[in-house]
Amino acid sequence: MNYTVVLPAAGSGKRMGAEGNKLFLKLRGKPILAHTLEVFQQDEWCEQIILAIKEEERHLIKVCLREYHLTKVTKLVVGGKERQHSVCEALKAAEGAELVLVHDAARPFIQQQVIHKLVEVAAEQGGAVAAVKAKDTMKLVRNGRVEETIDRETLWAIQTPQAFRYQLLVDAAKQADEQGFVGTDEAMLAERAGLPVYIVESSYDNQKMTTPEDLVLGELILTRREENN
Ligand SMILES: Nc1ccn([C@@H]2O[C@H](COP(=O)(O)OP(=O)(O)OP(=O)(O)O)[C@@H](O)[C@H]2O)c(=O)n1
Ligand SMILES: C[C@](O)(CO)[C@H](O)COP(=O)(O)O
Protein backbone atom coordinates (compact mmCIF):
# COMPACT_ATOMS: atom_id res chain seq x y z
CA MET A 1 0.00 0.00 0.00
CA ASN A 2 1.78 3.15 -1.19
CA TYR A 3 2.09 6.46 0.62
CA THR A 4 3.85 9.82 0.47
CA VAL A 5 5.59 11.02 3.61
CA VAL A 6 5.89 14.66 4.56
CA LEU A 7 8.67 15.50 7.03
CA PRO A 8 8.70 18.85 8.79
CA ALA A 9 12.40 19.66 9.28
CA ALA A 10 12.28 23.46 9.49
CA GLY A 11 12.32 23.90 13.27
CA SER A 12 14.85 25.79 15.32
CA GLY A 13 15.46 23.27 18.09
CA LYS A 14 15.44 25.84 20.89
CA ARG A 15 14.89 23.25 23.61
CA MET A 16 17.91 21.28 22.39
CA GLY A 17 20.01 24.37 22.90
CA ALA A 18 22.31 23.43 20.03
CA GLU A 19 23.77 25.88 17.57
CA GLY A 20 21.91 25.53 14.29
CA ASN A 21 19.27 22.94 13.43
CA LYS A 22 19.27 20.04 15.91
CA LEU A 23 18.53 17.67 13.00
CA PHE A 24 22.20 17.92 11.98
CA LEU A 25 23.33 16.69 15.40
CA LYS A 26 24.75 13.21 15.13
CA LEU A 27 23.81 9.86 16.66
CA ARG A 28 26.46 7.20 16.01
CA GLY A 29 28.17 9.68 13.68
CA LYS A 30 25.10 10.15 11.46
CA PRO A 31 22.78 13.19 11.45
CA ILE A 32 19.39 12.68 13.12
CA LEU A 33 17.80 13.75 9.82
CA ALA A 34 19.59 10.97 7.90
CA HIS A 35 18.52 8.35 10.48
CA THR A 36 14.88 9.38 10.03
CA LEU A 37 15.04 9.56 6.24
CA GLU A 38 16.67 6.13 5.99
CA VAL A 39 13.63 4.49 7.57
CA PHE A 40 11.45 5.76 4.71
CA GLN A 41 14.14 5.25 2.04
CA GLN A 42 14.16 1.56 3.02
CA ASP A 43 10.39 1.13 3.17
CA GLU A 44 9.09 -0.23 -0.10
CA TRP A 45 5.62 1.22 0.56
CA CYS A 46 7.08 4.76 0.61
CA GLU A 47 6.78 6.35 -2.82
CA GLN A 48 8.29 9.74 -2.12
CA ILE A 49 9.54 11.95 0.70
CA ILE A 50 8.80 15.67 0.85
CA LEU A 51 10.87 17.76 3.24
CA ALA A 52 9.93 21.13 4.72
CA ILE A 53 13.20 22.95 5.32
CA LYS A 54 14.67 26.36 6.08
CA GLU A 55 15.85 28.10 2.91
CA GLU A 56 19.25 28.83 4.46
CA GLU A 57 19.76 25.10 5.13
CA ARG A 58 18.96 23.94 1.58
CA HIS A 59 22.62 23.37 0.71
CA LEU A 60 23.38 21.42 3.89
CA ILE A 61 20.30 19.26 3.35
CA LYS A 62 21.30 18.50 -0.23
CA VAL A 63 24.76 17.45 0.94
CA CYS A 64 23.16 15.14 3.52
CA LEU A 65 20.82 13.61 0.91
CA ARG A 66 23.75 12.91 -1.41
CA GLU A 67 26.00 11.51 1.30
CA TYR A 68 23.41 9.03 2.56
CA HIS A 69 21.89 8.20 -0.88
CA LEU A 70 18.44 9.41 0.10
CA THR A 71 17.02 9.24 -3.39
CA LYS A 72 13.33 9.16 -2.44
CA VAL A 73 13.35 12.84 -1.44
CA THR A 74 11.58 14.45 -4.37
CA LYS A 75 10.90 17.97 -3.09
CA LEU A 76 12.36 20.46 -0.64
CA VAL A 77 9.82 23.14 0.27
CA VAL A 78 10.39 26.10 2.52
CA GLY A 79 8.68 25.66 5.89
CA GLY A 80 6.90 28.27 8.01
CA LYS A 81 6.91 29.87 11.44
CA GLU A 82 5.11 27.02 13.24
CA ARG A 83 5.28 23.30 12.60
CA GLN A 84 1.73 23.36 11.20
CA HIS A 85 2.75 25.96 8.59
CA SER A 86 5.69 23.80 7.53
CA VAL A 87 3.44 20.75 7.22
CA CYS A 88 0.90 22.72 5.14
CA GLU A 89 3.57 23.86 2.69
CA ALA A 90 4.79 20.29 2.28
CA LEU A 91 1.22 19.01 1.85
CA LYS A 92 0.71 21.34 -1.11
CA ALA A 93 3.73 19.74 -2.75
CA ALA A 94 2.23 16.27 -2.14
CA GLU A 95 -0.79 16.92 -4.36
CA GLY A 96 -1.88 13.75 -6.17
CA ALA A 97 -1.03 11.47 -3.24
CA GLU A 98 -3.84 9.30 -1.93
CA LEU A 99 -2.38 8.55 1.47
CA VAL A 100 -0.04 10.86 3.28
CA LEU A 101 2.00 10.40 6.44
CA VAL A 102 3.31 13.34 8.44
CA HIS A 103 6.36 12.48 10.51
CA ASP A 104 8.63 14.69 12.63
CA ALA A 105 12.13 14.64 11.17
CA ALA A 106 13.21 14.69 14.83
CA ARG A 107 11.85 11.16 15.51
CA PRO A 108 14.54 8.88 14.06
CA PHE A 109 13.46 5.61 15.72
CA ILE A 110 10.11 4.96 14.07
CA GLN A 111 9.67 1.35 13.05
CA GLN A 112 8.36 0.02 9.77
CA GLN A 113 5.67 -2.19 11.29
CA VAL A 114 4.09 0.87 12.95
CA ILE A 115 4.21 2.82 9.67
CA HIS A 116 2.50 -0.02 7.81
CA LYS A 117 -0.22 -0.40 10.43
CA LEU A 118 -0.88 3.37 10.30
CA VAL A 119 -1.18 3.27 6.52
CA GLU A 120 -3.64 0.39 6.67
CA VAL A 121 -5.82 1.99 9.33
CA ALA A 122 -5.78 5.41 7.63
CA ALA A 123 -6.73 3.88 4.28
CA GLU A 124 -9.73 2.23 5.91
CA GLN A 125 -10.79 4.80 8.50
CA GLY A 126 -9.46 8.14 7.22
CA GLY A 127 -6.91 8.98 9.92
CA ALA A 128 -4.53 7.22 12.34
CA VAL A 129 -1.81 8.39 14.70
CA ALA A 130 1.06 6.64 16.47
CA ALA A 131 0.69 6.70 20.24
CA VAL A 132 1.90 5.14 23.48
CA LYS A 133 0.04 4.58 26.72
CA ALA A 134 0.56 7.09 29.51
CA LYS A 135 2.98 5.57 32.03
CA ASP A 136 2.50 7.86 35.01
CA THR A 137 -0.47 8.84 37.12
CA MET A 138 -2.04 11.77 35.30
CA LYS A 139 -3.71 14.76 36.95
CA LEU A 140 -5.50 17.85 35.70
CA VAL A 141 -3.78 20.85 37.28
CA ARG A 142 -4.76 24.53 37.18
CA ASN A 143 -2.70 27.30 38.75
CA GLY A 144 -0.51 24.72 40.46
CA ARG A 145 -3.46 23.02 42.19
CA VAL A 146 -4.61 19.49 41.38
CA GLU A 147 -8.23 19.44 40.24
CA GLU A 148 -8.61 15.74 39.50
CA THR A 149 -6.87 12.51 38.56
CA ILE A 150 -7.61 11.42 35.02
CA ASP A 151 -8.26 7.74 34.35
CA ARG A 152 -4.94 6.70 32.82
CA GLU A 153 -6.59 4.03 30.70
CA THR A 154 -8.08 6.84 28.58
CA LEU A 155 -4.80 8.73 28.07
CA TRP A 156 -2.30 8.25 25.28
CA ALA A 157 0.83 10.23 24.44
CA ILE A 158 0.60 11.08 20.77
CA GLN A 159 3.58 10.78 18.45
CA THR A 160 4.09 10.87 14.73
CA PRO A 161 3.68 9.44 12.09
CA GLN A 162 0.14 10.67 11.63
CA ALA A 163 -1.47 9.14 8.54
CA PHE A 164 -4.47 10.43 6.61
CA ARG A 165 -6.27 10.16 3.34
CA TYR A 166 -4.66 13.11 1.60
CA GLN A 167 -7.75 15.15 0.77
CA LEU A 168 -9.22 14.78 4.27
CA LEU A 169 -6.10 16.24 5.84
CA VAL A 170 -5.79 19.02 3.28
CA ASP A 171 -9.42 20.06 3.83
CA ALA A 172 -9.01 19.96 7.62
CA ALA A 173 -5.81 22.04 7.39
CA LYS A 174 -7.55 24.57 5.15
CA GLN A 175 -10.41 24.90 7.63
CA ALA A 176 -7.96 25.42 10.52
CA ASP A 177 -6.08 28.01 8.50
CA GLU A 178 -9.26 29.93 7.67
CA GLN A 179 -10.17 29.95 11.36
CA GLY A 180 -6.68 31.04 12.41
CA PHE A 181 -6.22 27.86 14.47
CA VAL A 182 -2.71 26.53 15.04
CA GLY A 183 -2.41 23.07 16.56
CA THR A 184 0.54 21.01 17.69
CA ASP A 185 -0.30 17.98 15.55
CA GLU A 186 -2.34 17.04 12.48
CA ALA A 187 -4.90 15.03 14.45
CA MET A 188 -6.04 18.24 16.17
CA LEU A 189 -6.97 19.67 12.77
CA ALA A 190 -8.82 16.49 11.83
CA GLU A 191 -10.63 16.35 15.19
CA ARG A 192 -11.81 19.95 14.75
CA ALA A 193 -13.14 19.04 11.33
CA GLY A 194 -15.11 16.18 12.90
CA LEU A 195 -13.05 13.42 11.30
CA PRO A 196 -12.40 10.12 13.06
CA VAL A 197 -8.79 9.57 14.10
CA TYR A 198 -7.63 6.18 15.38
CA ILE A 199 -4.69 5.15 17.53
CA VAL A 200 -1.97 2.73 16.45
CA GLU A 201 0.11 1.59 19.40
CA SER A 202 3.72 2.55 18.83
CA SER A 203 6.91 2.22 20.87
CA TYR A 204 8.47 4.38 23.60
CA ASP A 205 11.60 4.26 21.41
CA ASN A 206 9.87 6.60 18.95
CA GLN A 207 11.02 9.52 21.06
CA LYS A 208 11.30 13.02 19.62
CA MET A 209 14.83 14.37 19.94
CA THR A 210 13.80 17.50 21.84
CA THR A 211 16.23 18.11 24.72
CA PRO A 212 19.87 17.02 25.26
CA GLU A 213 18.83 13.99 27.38
CA ASP A 214 17.02 12.60 24.34
CA LEU A 215 20.36 12.28 22.54
CA VAL A 216 21.69 10.08 25.37
CA LEU A 217 18.56 7.94 25.10
CA GLY A 218 19.00 7.86 21.30
CA GLU A 219 22.52 6.44 21.60
CA LEU A 220 21.22 3.78 24.04
CA ILE A 221 18.45 2.78 21.64
CA LEU A 222 20.99 2.38 18.84
CA THR A 223 23.27 0.29 21.08
CA ARG A 224 20.38 -1.98 22.03
CA ARG A 225 19.37 -2.38 18.38
CA GLU A 226 22.95 -3.27 17.40
CA GLU A 227 23.13 -5.87 20.19
CA ASN A 228 19.84 -7.41 19.09
CA ASN A 229 20.92 -7.74 15.45
N1 LIG B 1 8.33 25.94 12.23
C2 LIG B 1 8.63 24.64 12.35
C3 LIG B 1 8.79 24.05 13.64
C4 LIG B 1 9.12 22.70 13.71
N5 LIG B 1 9.31 21.98 12.58
C6 LIG B 1 9.69 20.57 12.66
O7 LIG B 1 8.70 19.86 13.38
C8 LIG B 1 9.27 18.75 14.05
C9 LIG B 1 8.83 18.71 15.51
O10 LIG B 1 9.19 19.91 16.14
P11 LIG B 1 10.14 19.99 17.42
O12 LIG B 1 10.91 18.75 17.61
O13 LIG B 1 9.34 20.49 18.55
O14 LIG B 1 11.27 20.94 16.86
P15 LIG B 1 11.60 22.43 17.02
O16 LIG B 1 10.43 23.29 16.76
O17 LIG B 1 12.80 22.56 16.15
O18 LIG B 1 12.05 22.51 18.55
P19 LIG B 1 11.85 23.69 19.61
O20 LIG B 1 10.37 23.80 19.86
O21 LIG B 1 12.61 23.21 20.80
O22 LIG B 1 12.44 24.95 18.99
C23 LIG B 1 10.81 18.88 13.91
O24 LIG B 1 11.25 17.90 13.00
C25 LIG B 1 11.00 20.29 13.41
O26 LIG B 1 12.11 20.45 12.55
C27 LIG B 1 9.13 22.58 11.33
O28 LIG B 1 9.29 21.92 10.31
N29 LIG B 1 8.79 23.90 11.25
C1 LIG C 1 3.40 16.32 16.59
C2 LIG C 1 4.06 15.92 17.88
O3 LIG C 1 5.23 15.19 17.64
C4 LIG C 1 3.10 15.02 18.65
O5 LIG C 1 3.68 14.63 19.85
C6 LIG C 1 4.43 17.12 18.71
O7 LIG C 1 3.30 17.77 19.19
C8 LIG C 1 5.34 18.10 17.94
O9 LIG C 1 6.20 18.79 18.76
P10 LIG C 1 5.91 20.13 19.53
O11 LIG C 1 6.85 20.10 20.66
O12 LIG C 1 4.47 20.11 20.00
O13 LIG C 1 6.18 21.18 18.53
Q: How confident is the model at residue 136 (pLDDT cuts 50, 70, 90)?
A: very high
For the CA atoms of 162, 70, 49, 44, what is the dihedral angle to 10 degrees?
A: -70
Q: What's the mean per-residue pLDDT of the chain?
A: 97
Q: From the CA of 185, how far away is ligand 2's center (Å)?
A: 6
Q: How confident is the model at residue 20 (pLDDT cuts 50, 70, 90)?
A: confident
Q: From the CA of 207, how far away is ligand 2's center (Å)?
A: 11
22-65 confidence digits (pLDDT tens): 999 999 999 999 999 999 999 999 999 999 999 999 999 999 99
**Do strands 46-53 and 127-133 pair parallel, antiparallel, or not at all (unpaired)?**
unpaired
**Strands across the sheet containing 198-201:** 73-78, 46-53, 3-8, 99-102, 156-165, 127-133, 198-201
**Does the pLDDT value for residue 19 go beyond 90?**
no
| pLDDT attached to residue 18 | 85
Q: State whether ipTM is beyond 0.90.
A: yes
Sequence ranges of the domains in the chain:
3-228
**Residue 99 phi, psi (nearest 5):** -120, 135
Identify the CA nearest to 157 among candidates 202, 116, 191: 202
Class of domain 3-228: alpha beta
Nearest ligand to residue 160 Cα: 2
Given the CA of residue 15, which atom of ligand 1 is nearest to it? 21
Name the strand (E) or helix (H) holding 216: helix 212-228
Task: Identify the residue whose C-alpha is closest to ligand 2 atom 7.
Answer: 184
| pLDDT attached to residue 48 | 98
Q: What is the pTM of this model?
A: 0.97
**Which of 25, 64, 83 is the pocket-test mutation for ligand 1 (most atoms within 8 Å of CB)?**
83
**Does the pLDDT value for residue 80 go beyond 90?**
yes
